[in-house]
């Protein structure tokens, strides 16, 4: 089939734009990530003298890095509309964020839509697959204190022990507020068939748009971070809670990400920008942690119910293009999430200026030594 001149020009423009975006992303990473690491190396004395101030500065730098990732999608026209509860109201409290998982772009979407939620981006901890440790962003996540979890039955018990130890060691000592996890344990397309077979075998609901979640990490987080008075269960880190005067984990934020026609954005699209501008829809529902059961069987049922509700939410969205109204509302209200282009340009400029500064400093020391 012959291609018209107009089609060829459109393809050529898309390829050129993708190439330029990729070159910018590579340059962005080459200056921003080493700068983040070098700033924190220089600030190590502050870590010894005033740990709280050190992790405050680290959090600000971390938020800037996530803003750079958000900018790649924002400037490609990948925007977010939010529905449901307003999570800004609990942005200063400790919360666990449960998210459905469809593609690598889910993380980028969260990096974008949480940018305007107060301090949560710089004070959040991520639970992610261990493979991300070996990506360009892995060194940043390691320093920040995120947890990389290995999937599979062979590693499950050990990983939960390591997660508990990680939370007790790093969560409150670094003043973390929100912890983000994907309870399905993998992408929808990879886990759907197995999940549906498990559901059929155990007489559970048939889910198409999400998969049945796994209990392990959620249970460890609740046991470790919830203060004893919240649900009657001793918190694994209760000594740390008293020291930091923390109220413990107070909320569970059930977050549902929906893409038009169920076609998720992956990281390659986010970087190259070859897809047409797309609006991603994010729905929030906030639960007080005192209403979340602690006993394993009851917690499993509660968690299953959340994902059954996600299934209903997504079914409604794919049929109507909108999420249903919250209980007590007659009409669903959406909020368009916005980012300041001026602020994003400022962050990017700072990254390149920092990269240039560190290059000059390292060149100077190199010439002095050799």
Is the separation of the CB atoms in 129 and 197 below 8 Å?
no
Segment 7-29, tens digit of pLDDT: 777 778 889 889 999 999 999 99
CA-to-CA distance for 279 and 274, rounded, in angstroms? 15
Q: Map out the domains of the chain as residue ranges.
A: 78-227+247-324+331-339
Helix, strand or coil, per DSSP, at residue 26: helix
Is the separation of the CB atoms in 226 and 248 below 8 Å?
yes
Is the separation of the CB atoms in 152 and 205 below 8 Å?
no
pLDDT at res. 232: 45
CA-to-CA distance for 325 and 317, rounded, in angstroms? 11
CA-to-CA distance for 136 and 26, rounded, in angstroms? 10
**pLDDT greater at residue 230 or residue 215:** 215
Which architecture does CATH list for 78-227+247-324+331-339?
3-Layer(aba) Sandwich (3.40)
pLDDT at res. 1: 53
Decide: pTM greater than 0.75.
yes
**pLDDT greater at residue 234 or residue 215:** 215
Segment 336-365, tens digit of pLDDT: 999 999 999 999 999 999 999 999 999 888
CA-to-CA distance for 324 and 304, rounded, in angstroms? 20
Mean model confidence pLDDT for the chain: 89
Lowest-confidence range among 86-100, 107-121, 229-243? 229-243
The secondary structure of 35-47 as a DSSP string is HHHHHHHHTHHHH
Segment 160-185, tens digit of pLDDT: 999 999 999 999 999 999 999 999 98
Length of the chain: 370
CA-to-CA distance for 192 and 206, rounded, in angstroms? 10
Q: How confident is the model at residue 223 (pLDDT cuts 50, 70, 90)?
A: very high
Burial 42-72 (b: 16+ CB within 10 A, else e): eeeebeeeeeeebbbebbebbbbbbbbbbbb
Distances (CA, A) of 54 to 40, 49, 320, 339, 357: 8, 9, 48, 27, 21
Segment 231-260, tens digit of pLDDT: 444 444 443 434 445 679 999 999 999 999
CA-to-CA distance for 293 and 231, rounded, in angstroms? 7
Q: How confident is the model at residue 2 (pLDDT cuts 50, 70, 90)?
A: low
Segment 261-306, tens digit of pLDDT: 999 999 999 999 999 999 999 999 999 999 999 899 999 999 999 9
pLDDT at res. 366: 82
pLDDT at res. 238: 40
Helix, strand or coil, per DSSP, at residue 270: helix
Q: Given a cut of 90, is residue 157 above it in pLDDT?
A: no
Q: Given a cut of 80, is residue 154 above it in pLDDT?
A: no
Looking at residue 273, what DSSP letter applies? -
CA-to-CA distance for 84 and 325, rounded, in angstroms? 7
Is the separation of the CB atoms in 208 and 317 below 8 Å?
no
pLDDT at res. 110: 94
CA-to-CA distance for 80 and 94, rounded, in angstroms? 24
CA-to-CA distance for 161 and 174, rounded, in angstroms? 20
């Amino acid at each position: 089939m012959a291609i018209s001149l107009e089609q060829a020009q459109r393809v050529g423009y898309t390829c050129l734009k993708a190439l330029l975006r990729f070159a910018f992303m590579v340059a962005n990473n080459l200056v921003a990530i080493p700068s983040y690491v070098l700033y924190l190396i220089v600030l190590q004395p502050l870590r010894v003298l005033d740990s709280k101030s050190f992790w405050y500065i680290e959090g600000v730098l971390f938020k800037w890095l996530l803003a750079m990732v958000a900018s790649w999608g924002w400037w490609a026209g990948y925007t977010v509309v939010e529905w449901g509860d307003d999570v800004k109201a609990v942005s200063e409290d400790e919360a666990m964020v449960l998210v459905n998982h469809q593609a690598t772009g889910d993380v980028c979407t969260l990096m974008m839509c949480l940018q305007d939620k107060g301090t949560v981006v710089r004070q959040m901890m991520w639970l992610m697959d261990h493979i991300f440790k070996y990506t360009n962003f892995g060194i940043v996540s390691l320093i920040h204190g995120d947890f990389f979890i290995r999937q599979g039955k062979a590693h499950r018990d050990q990983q939960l022990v390591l997660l508990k130890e990680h939370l007790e060691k790093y969560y409150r000592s670094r003043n973390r507020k929100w912890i983000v996890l994907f309870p399905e344990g993998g992408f929808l397309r990879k886990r759907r068939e197995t999940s549906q077979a498990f559901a059929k075998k155990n007489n559970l609901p048939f889910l198409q748009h999400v998969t049945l979640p796994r209990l392990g990490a959620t249970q460890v987080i609740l046991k470790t971070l919830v203060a004893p008075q919240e649900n009657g269960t001793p918190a694994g880190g209760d000594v740390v809670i008293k020291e930091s005067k923390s109220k413990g984990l107070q909320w569970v934020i059930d977050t549902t990400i929906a893409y038009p026609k169920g076609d998720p954005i992956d990281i390659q699209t986010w970087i190259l920008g070859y897809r047409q501008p797309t609006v991603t829809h994010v729905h929030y529902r906030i639960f007080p942690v005192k209403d979340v059961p602690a006993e394993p069987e009851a917690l499993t049922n509660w968690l299953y119910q959340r994902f059954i509700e996600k299934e209903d939410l997504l079914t409604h969205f794919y049929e109507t293009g909108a999420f249903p109204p919250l209980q007590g509302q007659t009409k669903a209200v959406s909020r368009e999430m916005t980012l300041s282009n001026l602020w994003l340009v400022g962050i990017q400029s700072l990254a390149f200026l920092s990269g240039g500064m560190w290059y000059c400093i390292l060149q100077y020391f190199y010439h002095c030594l050799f």
